[in-house]
Structure 1
Amino acid sequence: MGSCLLCNQEIPQKLTFSALFLLKTPENLLCEKCQSTFEKIPEQHCPRCYKSDVSGLCTDCKNWEKLGIFVNHRAIFRYNAAMKAYFARYKFLGDYRLGQVFAPYFAKLAGNAVLVPLPLSPESLKERGFNQVSAFLEQTKFQELLTKSTSPRQSSLDRHARLASKNTFSIKPEVHLPPKILLIDDIYTTGRTLQHAVETLKTASVTEISTFSLCR
């Protein structure tokens, strides 16, 4: 019998194929009560960025379109209070184990596209000790093709400042860039960070780029 990684409540272990082979799934890492606090994005959402409860294109995607940018993004969960608390522990308190909770969702993304996590700046990586996005991908194959220079933390910026932020991404030297890439991030807010990464890859002639985040 294991304990919930969020509330430490004991979890009765079900005899499943995954359990027999010690595969970590949300069902054997979190209790049912904690699992129920995470909300999946409903069927009614923006078709381009997955913003919830929107009929047709959201205002964000319309504004991107005015700039000649057509968002091609997917997400699974709402960024609700439970997710905020989860990321506070996972990212900012450094509870690395919590990356296992949602890793199975990322493992299902494997396809023709190469999964590429957004990198942290060297300063953020040193402070945190790990890249929370790369940790989500431990159960699947991925390639780290980008680097990031120092910039203000997105969490410290308001919406206007995020949209006005400069592109701090660059491509790692001497890497082979595949023709099809799926960029991975943890949370989609304004989309500015992901679009910076998309722009960087497009300048290097990557022909097909889409994006994915756990939350929107």
Structure 2
Amino acid sequence: MAAHLITGAGSGIGAVLAERLAERGDDLWLLARDARRAAELRERFPGAQTLVGDLGAPAKLSWAFGHQAMPIELDSLLHVAGVVELGQVGELPVKAWQDTLNVNLVAPAELTRLLLPSLRLVKGHVVFVNSGAGLNAHADWSAYAASKHGLKALADSLRLEEHGHGVRVTSVYPGRTATAMQRKVHQQEGKEYDADRFITPESVVKAILTALDVPRDAEITDITVRPGS
């Protein structure tokens, strides 16, 4: 039975991923920003364990985890949580940059650092759910794209550093996916939201599970998921 720690399990891709792993009988550790959210996750996913830590304040994660039970062995660390704030470079305030970089880049780096000992014990797997914006930046997407380009660099460096420990690292680059984040993006863009036009969270989760399940003689490093025709 494998153990997985998931961020962003409250909705979208993270929620579907938690459901699929729970159906397989695996152990779930779910990160929540506060105690109330942790209780909601435990109710939604009976048997799951929760950790409380705010990705928006990555400098406090080490202290927060020092007061909680942590997984001793971890088969995968699944970074799914993320935030987005659209705006032109000439208009985005510093806070928007800091908030985006904290959640999308600095927190994944710190969370990975704190959990590497548990991953190394069982030659685990780190999966970063990135974005098409991590490969190409467009107008009005500067802060988000910068955070996701940085996340790609984090994954690429980590992969080389941890190869000798047997830890695998995968980046997944979904196109626009039908999630609450996509609804928010459409609101910011002033466009009507139609979920049927986008990738389903289930399709992205299938790609993630493929990376997790590939035999140990191989490593899927990068997966790009685009809307079908």
**Shorter-chain TM-score category?**
0.3 to 0.5
Write 1 or 2 for the structure with the bigger share of helix.
2
TM-score, normalisation: structure 1: 0.35
Bigger radius of gyration, 1 or 2?
Answer: 1
TM-score normalised to structure 2 length: 0.34
